[in-house]
């Protein structure tokens, strides 16, 4: 996916280093997917063994948060940087999209728009970040609570599930109109219908075998296992500046522990990712070291990030124009 970043600030980096960093590897992607699948199977097996006891709640929370690590799988393969082979990127892009309840064509194009117009509040609108108004504090805090998505019913009409159903029924939503080329819209509707058919099939299978487990294992992780993903994703841009052409002002890098970094597929190096979206995620730590003198210092862990995010979001509830002031190093644009 090529992203138009011509007018954006970019840190200085020599061409040879950038060429090395953009090299892709099938093995790196296969290794990541294998470890992720093994962790998913083990946690899912313990959830099954403890089904009917309170221990199942614990194991399903573990399983659900590992399952929802399908979001960075979708993201990395969508950029075609998870693997060197296009067919592997395409295959796991569709798998990750279904697991995370994202219709793949819509999100390929809206994500392109997100990179080209990060945090844009006008036309073109950033449909990934600006969906939730900063005044919606209840929804913001529900996202940070395990299972909190179950209680955000008032957001149901705006959910990705409802959007997919609309596309499956042939409606042209605003995001489709604004982001998806007209020739790609039939594909969007086709894959939306495939997702809805799979949802219905899983529900019918659960009814047939008189067990909730297929629904709980496949359809519900988005609601009960979304906590870590929400915590990570909110860190990317929350409280920062809208409508600027400098990712150092609109995007945040946070240093995570190895387990969280693995589950997030190194997307905590989010400022680096936005500046150089063709660099595979496993090379983002190396990129960070090369440009660290040209960018604001990263937050050291989740709590360090949220110490500035939570007060900023609360303040934005009263003043939507408020933003965190970011101290920039003395560097020149290139």
pLDDT profile of the chain (334 residues), mean per 10: 67 94 96 97 98 95 96 96 97 96 94 91 80 70 78 63 94 93 96 97 97 96 90 92 92 96 96 96 96 94 95 89 87 48
Q: What's the number of domains the chain is made of?
A: 1
For residue 105, being part of any structural domain is answered with yes
Whole-model pTM above 0.85?
A: yes
Q: What is the pLDDT of residue 334?
A: 45
Is the Cβ–Cβ distance between 84 and 94 less than 8 Å? no
Residue 183 included in any domain: no
Establish if 168 belongs to a structural domain: no
Residue 270 domain-assigned?
yes
Question: For residues 97, 18, 296 and 266, what is the CA-based torsion angle, rounded to 10 degrees?
Answer: 30
Rounded to a whole number, what is the largest CA-CA distance in the chain?
Answer: 65
The residue range of the domain holding 40 is 15-161+222-318
Return d(Cα 225, Cα 148) in angstroms, integer: 10
pLDDT given for residue 139 in this prediction: 81
Taking a C-beta distance cutoff of 8 angstroms, is the pair 94, 104 a contact?
A: yes
The C-alpha atoms of residue 236 and residue 267 are separated, in whole angstroms, by 9
How many other C-beta atoms lie within 10 A of the C-beta of residue 233? Answer: 20
On whether residue 188 sits in a domain, the answer given is: no
Q: Select from 311, 332, 334, 333 the least CA-distant residue to 323.
A: 311
pLDDT score at 333: 45
Q: Give the residue carrying structure tokens 């604004």.
A: 178
Question: Is residue 331 situated within a structural domain?
Answer: no
In a domain, 201, yes or no: no
Question: Does residue 312 lie in a domain region?
Answer: yes
């Amino acid at each position: 996916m090529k992203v138009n970043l011509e007018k954006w600030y970019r840190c200085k980096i020599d061409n040879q280093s950038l060429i090395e960093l953009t090299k892709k590897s099938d093995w790196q992607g296969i290794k990541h997917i294998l470890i992720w699948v093994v962790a998913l199977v083990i946690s899912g097996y313990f959830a099954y063994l403890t089904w009917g006891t309170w221990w199942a709640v614990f194991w399903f929370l573990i399983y659900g948060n590992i399952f929802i690590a399908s979001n960075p799988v979708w993201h990395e393969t969508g950029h075609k940087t998870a693997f060197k082979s296009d067919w592997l990127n395409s295959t796991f892009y569709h798998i990750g999209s279904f697991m995370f309840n994202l219709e793949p064509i819509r999100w390929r194009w809206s994500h392109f728009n997100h990179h080209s117009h990060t945090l844009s509040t006008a036309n073109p609108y950033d449909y990934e970040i600006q969906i939730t108004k900063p005044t919606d504090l209840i929804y913001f805090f529900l996202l940070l609570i395990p299972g909190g998505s179950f209680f955000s019913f008032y957001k149901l009409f705006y959910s990705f599930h409802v959007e997919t159903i609309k596309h499956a029924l042939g409606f042209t939503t605003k995001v489709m109109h604004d982001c998806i080329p007209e020739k790609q819209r039939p594909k969007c509707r086709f894959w939306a219908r495939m997702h809805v058919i799979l949802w219905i099939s899983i529900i019918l299978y659960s009814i047939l075998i008189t067990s909730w487990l297929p629904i709980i294992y496949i359809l519900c992780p988005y609601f009960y296992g979304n906590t870590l993903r929400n915590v990570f994703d909110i860190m990317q841009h929350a409280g920062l500046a809208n409508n600027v052409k400098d990712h150092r002002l609109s995007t945040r890098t946070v240093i995570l522990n190895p387990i969280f970094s693995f589950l997030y597929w190194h997307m905590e190096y989010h400022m680096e990712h936005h500046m150089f979206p063709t660099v595979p995620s496993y090379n983002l730590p190396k990129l960070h070291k090369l440009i660290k003198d040209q960018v604001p210092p990263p937050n050291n862990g989740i709590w360090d990030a949220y110490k500035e995010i939570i007060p900023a979001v609360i303040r934005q509830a009263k003043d939507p124009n408020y933003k965190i002031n970011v101290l920039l190093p003395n560097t020149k644009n290139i």
